[in-house]
Amino acid sequence: MRYRNFTINEAGKLDEFVTRLLPTIQGMPFGKRIKAMKCEVDDNADVEQGFPEIRVHVDGKLTDKQTEVLCALATEFPEEIVEGTTCGERLGVRTTVQRKLRSTVVSFRWTGLRKIDVIRPLDIFYSDGTFSPEVDKDKIAEGVVYYVDEKEIRIVSPKLSGKLPWAIGKLVMLSLELPEINPFGIFELDQSLADLDLASKELLAAISAAGLKRSDFPAIEYVDTFVTECVSKGNWHLPLPGDAAYLFSREQRGELSKRLRQFGGRGLSRSCWLGVEYGESKAYMVQLTTANAMIKTQDKIEGLLAIPVARLTWESIENL
């Protein structure tokens, strides 16, 4: 049984838990509220995570006190630090309770305990530091998750710019090396993710070394001065090609656009700049069609959208 980059002893855990759980179930007072209870083991409850899950099905309605007694069993299992990992993985038992009109289901699962372990693509990141798949119009959305792994997530802001040039005034080549990024090909997830923070620092350093001002690069300036409650100035960036592959993939583009529009954004329906240049006069961009997206080059003086994206590490998420 695997979860990301570590394993758990499924059989041993299930045996240990059921041994403790069954006497508690048998000790519950049956009567008007509870007609029957059964324990069901499902070791494929979540295909992505693969954690074993135990569900207690109650034919009847548990009282709050009875629910507390069942859920308290989860605290008897200590958290486990997963050896050999570099991301602070911890494993423990957590419960969920589903109450229906005439029944109750209490589920127990071994799961990752870091905040990042429950974040999924398309979750909404709110200004109070929470993540949720649910739309809450009473909260301020800072971004929508478009990428997540065990170490970081990446979010896109609903507040896209108007049309801005990549550069104005004196056009120079900032980079010492210009990458060849399949400039006219339709892409899917064929670009690796690069370091957003490093790419932005290198661009800004090159602008300064060339004796130019940040205001000579309107699209870059827009994202570099962008700030939200949880993500400070300087931590928002233009997407890189690897980010564009996730933002505009067939699998996510439509749902991401829908999410962004729910919070006043335009959605991902217009061409946008990438944070990579193609020479003195051109930079990379994403050109959209109805069904696909292409990485191409465009004159730096043309006006395209600047899309703020940000990277949050698992450590920073823990401290939100």
| Count of positions (residues) in the chain | 320
Residue 22 CB partners (closer than 8 Å, separation 6+)? 39
Q: Which of 150, 143, 149, 145 is nearest to 126 (CA)?
A: 143
Q: Which of 165, 145, 169, 147 is nearest to 157 (CA)?
A: 145
Identify the pLDDT of residue 76. Answer: 74
* C-alpha torsion sign, points 206, 211, 217, 223: positive
How many C-beta neighbours within 10 Å does residue 130 have? 14
CA–CA gap between residue 201 and residue 121 (Å, rounded): 27
| The predicted structure's pLDDT at residue 293 | 83
- pLDDT for position 106: 87
Of 119, 124, 120, 122, the C-alpha closest to 143 is: 124
User: Helices 64-72 and 10-26 meet at what angle, rounded to 10?
Assistant: 150
Residue 301: what pLDDT?
A: 97
C-alpha–C-alpha distance, residues 189 and 63, integer Å: 49
Residue whose tokens read 């135990």: 54
| pLDDT at residue 53, as a whole number | 76
- Which tokens belong to 180? 């060849």
CA 11, distance to chain mean position in Å, is: 31
| Contact call for residues 285 and 175 (beta carbons, < 8 A) | no
For residue 293, list its beta bridge partners: 288
Q: What does each C-alpha distance from 1 to 40, 91, 235, 264, 294 come to in angstroms?
A: 18, 13, 37, 42, 39
Tokens of 27: 């000790």
Tokens of 235: 């931590």
Contact call for residues 154 and 243 (beta carbons, < 8 A): yes
Mind listing the pLDDT tens digit of every residue in the chain (320 residues)? 333 333 445 455 566 666 777 777 777 766 667 777 777 777 555 545 555 678 888 888 888 888 888 888 887 777 777 676 666 677 777 888 888 888 888 888 777 778 888 899 999 999 999 999 999 999 999 999 999 988 899 999 999 999 999 999 889 988 877 666 665 555 655 678 899 999 999 999 999 999 999 999 999 999 999 999 999 999 999 999 999 989 988 778 889 999 999 998 888 888 999 999 998 999 999 998 777 788 889 999 999 999 999 999 999 998 88
pLDDT at 1: 31
